[in-house]
Structures are given as C-alpha cells and as structure tokens.
A and B are shown apart, each in its own frame.
Chain A
C-alpha cells in the first residue's frame, strides 16, 4: 500500500497539468498548412530537379557540351549529346536526358557547371504512376518554357 495515495495525488496533478496545457494550446493559432488549398512557396535555394538555362536572346541552351555535370554526378543520372556547330567553333546541345529516378538532388552538377547552363527548378510536387515520367528530356522542357515566354 505504500505510495498508493501519493501516486494518486501525483497522477491527478499530471492529469490536470496535461489538460491545462492542451487547453492552452487549443486556443493558439493553427500551425499547419491546408496543403492542396495553401501551397508552400519554395525558398530561393530550393533544390528541385535540374533544368537547362536558355540564352536571353535566342532561347537556345547555354550548354557547351563540356560534360562536367555528367562526370560530377555521383549516380550517373545525366546523359547528353552534342554536335559540332556549323561555324566549326564549339558544340551545340542536341540531347539532354535526366534520369530523375536515380537523382539524389545533391547539386554537384549545378556546381560543376562553368557556363551558367544549369539551375534547379521550383517543382516539388512530382507524382506519377509511370517510371518513365521521371526520365526527363530537358531540351523539350526548355523549348516549352521558351514557348510559354513568347
């Protein structure tokens, strides 16, 4: 029997304190976000999947096909091809495929780029039933963005 009554007293005290805290918090403002109706704004440094940056005038990608991003990637997500420019100087991008299923969003590719050709997108709600939707053709994406701009 030792401690029986003291347990009841301390137990009652714990119960009242808990209820008081719950009551106090009940009248505090809501901290959650009602997601589909309220969408979060991504911070400027948010790392989404990568996308190509087009030049201001022509809309052509800034990429010079040096392949640094491909080599920097720890998971081998990036594959790209280019062809010689008609003027004979440098290369132009013909294909840029990102396998987003393997990407861990470390940002090594963006950091390794010396030609301002890559950036992170602001897309965060990427959902699909099909794996192929995440194998992204970034050239198409850039073209679409250019079309929207026009």
Chain B
C-alpha cells in the first residue's frame, strides 16, 4: 500500500520534466521546483544530446560539414544549409548564379512552412488536441514530397552547395508548389483557423498566459516569432537582407501582446507571408545555371567572417574563423532556440504546471539545435 505524502504548507518539491518527456519533444530536462501545482523555479538542464558540431566542423573540410548542419535543426534544415553556405561563400568569395538564389529562397520558404505546420501540430498535441496534427501532417507531407523530388531526401536535407544548389527544379516542382499554395490558402481559414484559432479551448489555454516583455527578449537575445510576438520588429530577412530577399514584397508580422497567443498568431501569419514569397519567386524565376564556379577544395583567406540567416525559430549566426587551411579554424554557431529557451526559467516562475507546458510549446523548441 502506498502512503500519501503530506507536505507542510510552505514545503516545495522537485519535479523532473524530462529528459524523456513527450512535451519537451527531445531530450531536454527541466528541473522544476514546485509548490503544489505552481512552479517556483524552473531550471533547464542541457547536454543530453551534445554532439560537438562546432568541433566536427573543425575536423573536416568545409564541404564535409554541410550534411551535419541539417542534423541540428531537423525541422528547418534548409535554412541551416543556407546559413553555412552563405558564410563559406562570403569567406571564399564565391558567386552564386541568380537562378540558384531563387531556388534557395523557394525551398527554404517551403521548408519554413513545413516547420511551422509541424510546430502547430506538436503544440496542439501538447495542449491535448490530436486531430489537428493529422490535418497539418497531410499538408506537411505534400511539402516534403515536393522537396524530396528536388533534394533527394525528406527531412535532413543536404541540398545547398557552395556556389549554388545540388539540383535544378523542374516544371513539375513549380506546378506542384503552386498547387500546394492554392490548397493551403484554402485550408488556412476554413480548417486551421476555424478548427483551432477561433476555438475557445485554445483561446482559454494560451491567451494572457506566458507574457514575455520586449525588454526580456532583448536581455536574453530572443529572436524569431518569440521576439516578434513581444512587439520587436526584427527579422534578418528585412533587417540584414541576404540572398535575394530584398526583391520580394512581404511583411513581417509583429504582435505586441507578448503572450502565447501572440506567438501563435505570428507563426500563422508567417505561413501566409512565406507563401507570398514563394509565389513571387516562382513568377520571377530566371533561367541559367544553378551552380556557379567554385573550387573543389576550398581554402579561404585567413580572417573572421560572420553571416546570419532567419530560420523558422529565429536568427542563426555563423562565426567562422579561417587560417588559410582547408578546414575551418573555429566555428561558432549562434542558434536561435538556445536564447529562446533561456527565457523559460524566468517567465515560468509562478505559473501553473499545465500553463508552463503550454508556454514551453509556444517557444517552439528544437532540442538538437539547442544542444549542438
């Protein structure tokens, strides 16, 4: 027979959330000090899947690190490919043909939609709704099928090359992408918003919960939808434009409320904006080669190089130090979710446990990217 535990009224207990927990979507452990149902202190504990990606970059050539970039953020792998390609191209002074830049933008944005759809599905699964997951996976599957046709893989892509892309897109891909956008445009209001966004259970679970102030975002370096949900208008694609993004007309959705609902709405609007970018890119797609001239063995000049890209979760920075050798001397990765997770401890204090989990879901954590 189990004997019930009686706590003194001011006594707290420690609850381990993870390392294996369905709501953390990976091996993240959060040490929660609880007072009944209320969180007194939350400490994220990292390191369970640390794979030394920065060290792995130093031990191989520049091209050999490309497949590993996709293993960090497996949901928006193409943006990580893009970030690595950009910084190495900057270091080695490689020109990229215009068609390749457009293809990069199209595939990265398709991947961003897939990432947001998966976040949407997993977030609602955390909140206890299973049905939306199946609808979102139906749409996500179509994107993955499209990308599989051009990249050859379904999730951990290794599609970008220094000086271009691995493979050209064909007419079937273009019509497929247009059909997909038409389909998702129809489904967004009639399925996604009607079923979930306007649903009272969702509103009651995430509205006015998990407030993040813009000052907190700045202090912790939060970026992406987390910062944009707190009224900070910051998107690398607009603020420090790279690739051909300046040629497209798109808005950066910003919400001032700072609660979980605001972050939800930012991502839903970003899906629409990504569709706008893809449409414009498909319309303007120029002809020409998809691979520029790049030496097989890269030996960039010694120096410091930095470039940043906007992934689905925020800004990803690569700081590359070269010493004229065929391998990087040092690579520092600034990954977005690490900063976004750092917020969790401060914001979750005083929340109810169920609210804290809903708040954690709204941060869109991808653990392999935090623990690289």
Residues in chain A within 8 A of chain B (CB atoms): 7, 10-11, 13-14, 17-18, 21-22, 25, 31, 43, 45-47, 72-74, 104-108, 111, 120
Do A31 and B138 contact each other (CB < 8 Å), given the known contacts A21-B194, A120-B152? yes
Complex Cα spacing A98 to B152, Å: 20
In the complex, the answer to whether B195 meets A17 with C-beta atoms within 8 Å is: yes
**Interface stretch (choices B91-99, B197-205, B274-282):** B197-205
Do A14 and B64 contact each other (CB < 8 Å), given the known contacts A21-B194, A45-B150? no
Complex Cα spacing A47 to B156, Å: 12
Q: Which residue of B lies closest to A12 (CB)?
A: B200
Do A74 and B60 contact each other (CB < 8 Å), given the known contacts A10-B200, A14-B201, A21-B194? yes
Q: Which A residues touch B131, using CB under 8 A?
A: 22
Do A74 and B64 contact each other (CB < 8 Å), given the known contacts A7-B200, A17-B195, A21-B191? yes
In the complex, the answer to whether A106 meets B138 with C-beta atoms within 8 Å is: no
List, sorted by A's number, 20 A–B pairs whose CB atoms are closer than 8 Å: A7-B200, A10-B200, A14-B199, A17-B195, A17-B198, A18-B195, A25-B135, A43-B149, A45-B151, A45-B152, A46-B152, A47-B152, A74-B64, A104-B156, A104-B158, A105-B158, A106-B67, A107-B152, A108-B63, A108-B64
Question: Beyond A104-B67, A105-B67: 16 further Cβ-contacts under 8 Å?
Answer: A11-B200, A17-B199, A21-B194, A21-B195, A22-B131, A25-B191, A45-B152, A45-B167, A46-B152, A74-B60, A74-B68, A106-B67, A106-B158, A107-B158, A108-B67, A120-B152
Taking the complex as formed, is B153 at the interface, i.e. its CB lies under 8 A from any CB of chain A? Answer: yes
Query: A106: which of B66, B135, B167, B190 is its contact (CB, 8 Å)?
Result: B66
B interface residues, how many (CB within 8 angstroms) = 30
Complex Cα spacing A46 to B150, Å: 9
Least CB distance, B103 to chain A, in whole angstroms:
14
Complex Cα spacing A46 to B153, Å: 6
Complex Cα spacing A2 to B241, Å: 49
In the complex, the answer to whether A74 meets B152 with C-beta atoms within 8 Å is: no
Q: Which B residues touch A21, using CB under 8 A?
A: 190-191, 194-195
Q: Which residue of B lies closest to A10 (CB)?
A: B200
Do A17 and B194 contact each other (CB < 8 Å), given the known contacts A104-B71, A107-B152? yes
Taking the complex as formed, is B240 at the interface, i.e. its CB lies under 8 A from any CB of chain A? Answer: no
Do A14 and B66 contact each other (CB < 8 Å), given the known contacts A45-B150, A106-B158? no
In the complex, the answer to whether A105 meets B194 with C-beta atoms within 8 Å is: no
Complex Cα spacing A43 to B169, Å: 13
Complex Cα spacing A120 to B60, Å: 23
Least CB distance, A4 to chain B, in whole angstroms:
13
Q: Which A residues touch B141, using CB under 8 A?
A: 31
Q: Which A residues touch B199, using CB under 8 A?
A: 14, 17-18
Least CB distance, A47 to chain B, in whole angstroms:
4
In the complex, the answer to whether B65 meets A74 with C-beta atoms within 8 Å is: yes
Q: Which B residues touch A47, using CB under 8 A?
A: 152-153
